[in-house]
Amino acid sequence: MRAKEPIKKLCEYCGKEFQASRQDTLYCSHDCNRKAYREAKRKEVIALTETLVSKKKIEQAVVDLSDREYLSISEAAKVLGWCKQSVYNYCHKGIIPAKRISQRTTLIRKKDIESLFDAIEPYEVLTTGERKPIESWYTLDDITEKYGLLRHRIRKIVNAEEIPTKKDGTRTLIAKGKIDAYFKKKGFDGSLNNLADWLTISGVMEEYEMTEQGVYVFVSRYSIPKKRVNGKLYYSKQHIDKLKNKGQ
């Protein structure tokens, strides 16, 4: 749009001040306009070249790994075209055999990856089936109240274990059976619903004549199941009794 009066502007290429007759004028002269256009095109070529080089490096890395007998998690992810977390998930589930050599090193035999495809069954299209009733799902608040975990910890478990979720308006619902099975595997006893079976830190101190520091060390060392109710943490009395040889 042409302005009624000249507008003072700064050239976006050379930075000099000039009088513009249009509001959308960016450059002080045709020469600056031409140079800016060439600069933009040069940056596009550089970006495209960097993308192609990066892609070539990835392809070359996969080729270089073709003769390797053992692969790290990162290398296996490159071969499969996955992210590292996906490889870890399949290793944890036992689908991909892996050997932890040290705290920082886990190795996978390349032939174990290839053997995943030795027995190919007809591809099955998964059906969603009937929609589960709302009673078969937990909200995040339900899990927090029952198991005493904060929301971010619940989300990490759901992502790592690939537990089914769905949206109900603004709420995230989580498959009840799957989350219960996870905590049962971790030693949580679902029958302990009465708070009489749970103790706070002070309750543990009084019941077992322990210091506060001693309680924190004890519940952490033995991974005593806990839950949060109304902002307070409670620990499973049944599990503590078993460890203290007070249970039946």
List the CATH number of the domain containing 209. 3.90.105
Distance, CA of 222 to chain centre = 26
Question: Which of 94-98, 111-115, 147-151 is least confident?
Answer: 147-151
- Higher pLDDT among residues 210 and 60, named by residue: 210
Q: What mean pLDDT do residues 102-123 have?
A: 80
Question: Which of 1-5, 68-72, 75-79, 232-236 is least confident?
Answer: 1-5
CATH code, 99: 1.10.10.10
Distance CA 229, CA 235 (A): 11
Band the pLDDT of 247: cuts 50, 70, 90.
Answer: very low
Q: Look at residue 148 and tell me if it is in a domain.
A: yes
Per-residue pLDDT, 188 = 66
Question: Domain containing 86: what range?
Answer: 68-115
Band the pLDDT of 131: cuts 50, 70, 90.
Answer: low
Number of domain units in the chain: 4
Q: Look at residue 51 and tell me if it is in a domain.
A: yes
Q: How many CB atoms lie within 10 A of CB 63?
A: 9
Whether this prediction's pTM lies above 0.85 is answered by no
Q: Look at residue 48 and tell me if it is in a domain.
A: yes
- What confidence tens digit (pLDDT) does each residue in 176-203 have? 888 888 888 876 655 445 555 788 888 8
What single-letter amino acid sits at 6? Answer: P
Please check whether residues 50 and 92 belong to one and the same domain: no
Q: Look at residue 31 and tell me if it is in a domain.
A: yes
Token pair of 193 as six digits:
């619903």
Please check whether residues 167 and 199 belong to one and the same domain: no
Please check whether residues 178 and 199 belong to one and the same domain: no
* pLDDT at residue 145 is higher than 80: no
CB contact at 8 A, 241 and 247? yes
Per-residue pLDDT, 125 = 64
Distance CA 247, CA 82 (A): 48
CB contact at 8 A, 190 and 184? yes
Distance CA 140, CA 174 (A): 7
Q: Look at residue 120 and tell me if it is in a domain.
A: no
